[in-house]
A and B are shown apart, each in its own frame.
Chain A
């Protein structure tokens, strides 16, 4: 079975206030075995715990960019052992990484922006991970980025990775939860978590591109922080113009 693509937006609106476990249940009921949880090694571990509590078989995949923190690698194995489920780890294409490093060195993202490196180390492996699936499940939340994630629905058609010929559905069960709710769940259910969180990391990605944030700072300030200027440079908001004029 699969959801009716024409009514997914309406279904998402209908399910918006439901518990994440209900959304996960729908994902597994409708799409198993052609659905997987995308696990980043951060607090999205809550999804794995929830899926395990449902009692249906499910798949997990993760992307090893080659630049993750040692703590994240260990955490992947902790999760694997705790839940007794294999994690399908996808790696970047060696020739693409070798070419990038040969041409631009190991830290080109600080100069050229993260997109090129992420394209090779994250997005291309993700394309391969998603290729056999009809649906995937992410830990995205609306409160992760007021600018770009504020409107994330609990279910959506993934137009980035799906095509009209091969549609892909994306479930975001935690979309409406806050970070506090996720952490309350992790603590209440004794869910293992990445020890980097205890050191101030909120958003966890590759080691060179992630940093801890201070209380009061938004979690996105811990990712690709050096690129804010580029974003402004290419932005077309009138507010940017006003900010420039005020300088």
Chain B
């Protein structure tokens, strides 16, 4: 299994806020070394590898993760889903709640 994390860098060179948050989370769980490669999507360069990857996979928000395993390619837009389903760690209800955007749920 090989995991790529697509991160977006802003014009000033910093990570986008959500990418920085996901990185901190992986580090805090001791899982950062499970990310095999970081692919950069540069804000000012649509031809940067991460931007091309986002367009190819139809993903519109950073960060996201691509897991290559057994000849399959799976995309995860949630770091917690990746942690739970591919890295074999449990995720608490509170953590799960933090990962869900109320704006995406609707009806609440």
Give chain A's interface residues, CB within 8 Å of chain B. Answer: 38, 40, 44, 63, 93, 96, 113-116, 118-120, 122-124, 126-127, 136, 138-140, 144, 148-149, 152, 160, 172, 223-224, 230, 233-238, 240-241, 244-245
Given A235-B61, A238-B55: A139 in contact with B107 (beta carbons within 8 A): yes
Q: Give, as a whole number of angstroms, the nearest-CB distance from A158 to chain B.
A: 9
- 26 A–B contact pairs at CB < 8 A? A44-B107, A63-B108, A114-B102, A115-B98, A118-B101, A118-B103, A122-B102, A123-B102, A124-B94, A139-B107, A140-B107, A160-B104, A160-B105, A172-B107, A233-B8, A234-B8, A236-B50, A236-B54, A236-B60, A236-B62, A238-B55, A240-B43, A241-B43, A241-B51, A244-B11, A244-B44
Complex: how many Å from CA A160 to CA B107? 13
Report the contact-size class of chain B (Cβ under 8 Å from the partner): 35 or more
Closest 4 CB pairs of A and B: A138-B107, A119-B98, A140-B106, A118-B102
Asked if residues A230 and B103 are in contact (CB atoms below 8 Å), the reply is: no
Are B17 and A233 in touch, CB under 8 angstroms? yes
Chain A residues within 8 Å of B59, by CB: 236
In the complex formed, the residue of A with least CB distance to B42 is A241
- Closest Cβ of chain B to A117, distance in Å, is 9
